[in-house]
Chains A and B, each alone.
Chain A
Amino acid sequence: MSKNASPDDVVVVSAPSWSQLWLSEDYWAIWLGGLLIAGALWAVHANRPADFEQQASAAAAGTGKLPKLSSPLKAWIARPGSSEASWQSNPLDAIRGAKFDHTRGILGAAAILGVLFALATKVMRGSLIRFLVAFVVVFALATIAYVMASQKVVLAYNLEYVLWALVLGLIVSNTVGTPSWLRPAVRTELFIKTGLVLLGAEILFQRLLQLGYPGMFISWITTPIVLIATYIFGQRVLRIESKSLNMTICADMSVCGVSAAIATAAACRAKKEELTLAISLSLAFTAVSMIVMPAVIRATHMDEVLAGAWIGGTVDSTGAVAAAAALVGEGARDVAVLIKMIQNILIGVIAFGVAVYWVTAVERDPQAARPRVSEIWYRFPKFVLGFIAASLICTWIGSAVVGGEAIVDGAINTATKTLMGWCFCLAFVSIGLETNFRELAHYFRGGKPLVLYVVGQSLNLALTLFMAWLMFYVVFPGARASLGQ
């Protein structure tokens, strides 16, 4: 562990040695994430119909439709409360319903993740049996968090599962205390990093151009400007002591909420409490913006294309974007979800950029000479490379292989997306189990994070609206006409 690291960090740095390849969670996240992605792709490919290549070629030529692929893994990997499984008064409706039964899938996900994480723990010189015993309880808490998040009212206001995972962990740790027998499965770092490598499979760069230049300008020019300007504001004006807290809030607010916050916090080695604070702020403001933005748009009779771009570029959470835009209209919804999708792809670039900036500038000793490449390599969070590699490989398969897009989509939808969600849910249960309410309260003092969020989001709202107007009304009015049809 480096001299500046603490056990509260989302990610910590270990001393360099070859043994890190099998002893560090950084590398294990890459091995486990890579194995899961490869397994999911193989299962979809092996399960493709006999005439798949012909169908894919016809789709590429514009004379047919790309088939939707599935895999046998789908029946074995599930979570409570997916889109069709919300509940109003009976929590079991999140697990079993008239048209679905997620019991086998939930147990399957527990078995797959439990076995893989237990093996990793064993190789990292932990106890396999102790891990498995504790994992059953941590996984049960994660399952309850998913069930809580799928209650219809909770769902309608976008209070995501990570919040309830955190709350359940906090309840245990702040009432009876986290028992020592549970600690072997409290592996925040391993769960988060593995989830992020799985997230890499969804960062498909070929989708970047879906909305052409307007989409790129609204998502890929405005978002980094807001992120950097807000970070500088936090450092120079508010003088926020923790740079990692400042950066995590900025990424959370400007990119796409929870997943951006997790990726950035891991890349800049934020503390667990800082990640918790950033996500809490984001969820609170998202619930408000879901109600206020459609009302403002209706009151001002804003054009649907412009409204969709505004919502897609500024509402933090992906689900809230779809919900808020649906309240405006179908045209707004298409534009909003596509803008958000393009912005989601930015996470990989942001996480990589933040990791490089942190090891070369923030953590650099100002008195020391310029850091050597070996020093940068030693400090660089390696799982970020797994995350980028997963993204590049899936992008390549999706764009260069015949029918590759259907194979990658199949792997994401039948396996990696759900396993990623479980990893993040387990990570937030673990954060709750390791966090004391009093430590958390310390970060809220002074109100600087709140001011940072409000100022940053105000800039985001103004700049995104201006950029969307510039793109759709001034530079590319043809795009607005086409999208508005």
Chain B
Amino acid sequence: MRRLLIAGAIVGAIWLGVLPWLAEMPWVRARIERFESAGVNPGAIRYTDLPEIPGALERQRQRLADERRPFWVP
């Protein structure tokens, strides 16, 4: 049980102490802000988790509609 408590304390210290401190570092802060402002979800596992997909699909539909019959599409 003592080993479990120690492991739990280490995890708690990292997530509640080290990571919040790291998030304030300028280079990390800049990276996080860049993703947030671009609406990116870096934790997405599947394409359906990506907020960009509907917009990208819509823009692609528009491109194809504008070109009437693009030769690079079957």
Binding site for B on A (CB under 8 A): 62, 81, 83, 88-89, 91, 148-158, 160-162, 167, 171-172, 175-176, 199, 202, 207, 209-214, 257-259, 290, 317-320, 322-323, 326-327, 333-334, 337-338, 340-341, 344, 412-413, 417, 420-421, 424, 476, 478-479, 482-483, 485
Contact of A175 among B7, B22, B34, B56 (CB under 8 A): B7
How many chain B residues sit at the interface, stated as a range, is 35 or more
In contact, B43 and A155 (Cβ under 8 angstroms): yes
A-contact bits for B23-58, CB 8 A (1 contact / 0 none): 100001001101100101111111111111100110
B39 CB, min distance to chain A CBs, angstroms:
8
Nearest residue, chain B, Cβ from A68? B54
B10 CB, min distance to chain A CBs, angstroms:
9
B48: chain A residues at CB < 8 Å are 202, 412-413, 417
A318-B46 CB under 8 A given contacts A152-B23, A153-B23, A153-B28 = yes
Binding site for A on B (CB under 8 A): 1, 3-4, 7-8, 11, 15-16, 19-20, 22-23, 28, 31-32, 34-35, 38, 40-53, 56-57, 59-60, 63, 65, 67, 70-74
A153-B45 CB under 8 A given contacts A326-B34, A334-B56 = no
The CA-CA distance from A421 to B70 in the complex, in Å, is 38
The CA-CA distance from A175 to B22 in the complex, in Å, is 28
B14 CB, min distance to chain A CBs, angstroms:
9
B20 CB, min distance to chain A CBs, angstroms:
4
In contact, A171 and B7 (Cβ under 8 angstroms): yes
A91-B15 CB under 8 A given contacts A153-B23, A334-B56 = yes
List 4 other contacts, CB 8 Å, given A319-B43, A322-B50: A167-B11, A176-B4, A424-B45, A483-B63
In contact, B63 and A485 (Cβ under 8 angstroms): yes
In contact, A482 and B35 (Cβ under 8 angstroms): no
In contact, A482 and B63 (Cβ under 8 angstroms): yes
Contact of A322 among B15, B44, B60, B72 (CB under 8 A): B44
A226 CB, min distance to chain B CBs, angstroms:
19
A413: chain B residues at CB < 8 Å are 48
A482-B31 CB under 8 A given contacts A153-B19, A317-B45 = no
B70: chain A residues at CB < 8 Å are 212, 478-479, 482
In contact, B57 and A212 (Cβ under 8 angstroms): no
The CA-CA distance from A341 to B72 in the complex, in Å, is 18
> Which DSSP category, helix, strand, loop or mixed, fits chain B's interface?
helix
In contact, A152 and B32 (Cβ under 8 angstroms): yes
The CA-CA distance from A413 to B54 in the complex, in Å, is 12
The CA-CA distance from A160 to B44 in the complex, in Å, is 8
Contact of A338 among B11, B22, B34, B60 (CB under 8 A): B60
Max chain A C-beta neighbours (<10 A), residue from B7, B38, B56:
B56
In contact, A211 and B60 (Cβ under 8 angstroms): yes
Nearest residue, chain B, Cβ from A412? B48
B25 CB, min distance to chain A CBs, angstroms:
9
> 27 pairs across A/B with beta carbons < 8 Å?
A89-B16, A148-B11, A155-B41, A155-B42, A156-B28, A156-B35, A157-B42, A158-B43, A161-B45, A162-B45, A171-B7, A176-B4, A210-B57, A210-B60, A257-B45, A318-B44, A318-B46, A318-B50, A323-B35, A327-B34, A334-B52, A334-B56, A337-B50, A337-B52, A344-B46, A344-B47, A412-B48
A290: chain B residues at CB < 8 Å are 42
A280 CB, min distance to chain B CBs, angstroms:
15
A169 CB, min distance to chain B CBs, angstroms:
12
The CA-CA distance from A83 to B40 in the complex, in Å, is 8
In contact, B42 and A158 (Cβ under 8 angstroms): yes
Nearest residue, chain A, Cβ from B58? A65
Nearest residue, chain A, Cβ from B52? A337
A333: chain B residues at CB < 8 Å are 38, 52, 56
In contact, A326 and B60 (Cβ under 8 angstroms): no
A160: chain B residues at CB < 8 Å are 43, 45
In contact, A334 and B42 (Cβ under 8 angstroms): no
In contact, B51 and A83 (Cβ under 8 angstroms): yes
In contact, A148 and B15 (Cβ under 8 angstroms): yes
Contact of B60 among A214, A334, A344 (CB under 8 A): A334
B40 CB, min distance to chain A CBs, angstroms:
5
Nearest residue, chain B, Cβ from A155? B43
The CA-CA distance from A210 to B46 in the complex, in Å, is 17
A322: chain B residues at CB < 8 Å are 40-42, 44, 50, 52
